[in-house]
Amino acid sequence: MRSTLFSTPRSPLRAVSVLAACGLVVLVVAGPAAAHITTFPSAATQGGSDLELTFRVPNEEANASTTKVEITFPADHPIANVLVQPVAGWTVQVQNTTLATPIKTDDGDVSQVVAKVTWSGGRIDPGQYAGFHVIFGLLPSGTDQIVFKAVQTYSNGDVVRWIDVARTGQPAPDHPAPVLALTKPTGASTPSAPAPAKTKVKTAAATDSTARGLGIGGLVVGVLGLVVGGYGLVRGRRAPRA
């Protein structure tokens, strides 16, 4: 009996329609989850220095462009010595704050730290994203994460506040704040590999001397063999016949 799976001409069209619908559902479900401001890299080491961090800002509006991005730095775990990389088409403004207790660094005490960095004047069009780069001179210790609260402004006046903090055991927030996870330094030094055993390497001179010695020894043995052979022949000729 012939199979009736594709018995009508509409079956391939139906299959394509079903696949397209499934793909649309996946995009709808995955789109909002990925459309928020994140940090790259997402993790670093506590107390580390000279870390280049990128704030990745996607545009989630269909008919508006991102025109302003504000990143607020944590006050409970301040970061010393922040450098901001300029972005073409954008104006950057750095707002500092004075700490009640200075941070001790290898270069001395630091009392002025960054409180907020604002990029404005540029455009992130729909379907695009932009990366805003900073370098941290010294990361804090004693915490497992740094939470940056971000505010994204669009050309149509919409303002999205990415300030919610994810909590363990609770659903993911709709507007999560960008987070940099901090891991403790291992502190364990990597054991050095054992030194390779020393091997004796014969030089060309030593090899040549050995070859010469063997050659001379062979000649001596050959000469002795000829002498012994000649002596035996002479004795054989001088022996009386029976």
pLDDT tens string 185-223: 986 444 445 555 554 444 444 444 444 454 555 544 454
Whether pLDDT at 45 is above 90: yes
Contact predicate 54/38, CB 8 Å: no
Contacts 24+ apart (CB under 8 A), 204-211: none
Its pTM stands at 0.63
Classify 229 as helix, strand or coil: helix
Which residues, in sequence order, are CB contacts of 139 under 8 Å at separation 6+?
Answer: 44, 45, 46, 47, 48, 49, 51, 79, 146, 182
pLDDT at residue 220 in the model? 46
φ/ψ of residue 144, rounded to 5 = -100, 0
- CA 172 to centroid of chain Cα atoms: 26
Whether pLDDT at 175 is above 70: yes
pLDDT at residue 231 in the model? 52
- CA 15 to centroid of chain Cα atoms: 41
Which CATH superfamily hosts domain 36-183? Uncharacterised protein YcnI-like PF07987, DUF1775 (2.60.40.2230)
pLDDT band at 180 (very low <50, low <70, confident <90, very high): very high
Whether pLDDT at 165 is above 80: yes
Whether pLDDT at 6 is above 50: no
| 51-58 and 80-84 strand pairing | unpaired
Tell which phi-psi region holds residue 241, choosing left (phi > 0), alpha (psi between -120 and 50) or beta.
beta
C-alpha span between 167 and 126 (Å, rounded): 30
pLDDT at residue 14 in the model? 55
Which residues, in sequence order, are CB contacts of 49 under 8 Å at separation 6+?
Answer: 136, 137, 138, 139
Whether pLDDT at 65 is above 60: yes
Amino acid at 218: G
What's the residue count for the chain? 242
pLDDT tens string 76-106: 899 888 999 999 999 999 999 998 888 877 7
Place of tokens 């704050």: 97
Average pLDDT over residues 58-87: 94
Contact predicate 129/55, CB 8 Å: no
